[in-house]
Amino acid sequence: MPKIKTHSGAKKRFKISKSGKVIRSHANMRHFLNGHGKSAKFKRGMRGTCVVDKTNEKHVKRMIPYK
């Protein structure tokens, strides 16, 4: 069985946790520090990481087989 290539975009965006869940960073983070009316509550909520939805988890794991 040949090796599977890792998707180069996915390896930069996703990690696998110890329990096997796929972790990602929050979306909409690019320009929110430039003073575009984002509240402190919004900024606090965007901190850290979150878990990929279970409907997408299978696809992401296929793209990063050796992580």
> Which domains, ranges and CATH numbers included, belong to the chain?
8-63 (4.10.410.60)
What does the DSSP assignment read for 2-63? PPPPPPHHHHHHEEE-TTS-EEEEPSS-SSTTS-SS--HHHHHHTSSEEEPPHHHHHHHHHH
Residue 58, amino acid: K
pTM for the whole thing? 0.78
pLDDT digits (tens, 9 = 90+) for 17-60: 999 999 999 988 877 777 677 788 888 888 899 999 999 999 99
Q: What is the pLDDT of residue 16?
A: 96
Are 24 and 50 in contact by the 8 Å Cβ rule? The answer is: yes
Tokens (6 digits) for 29: 């983070």
Tokens (6 digits) for 17: 């946790």
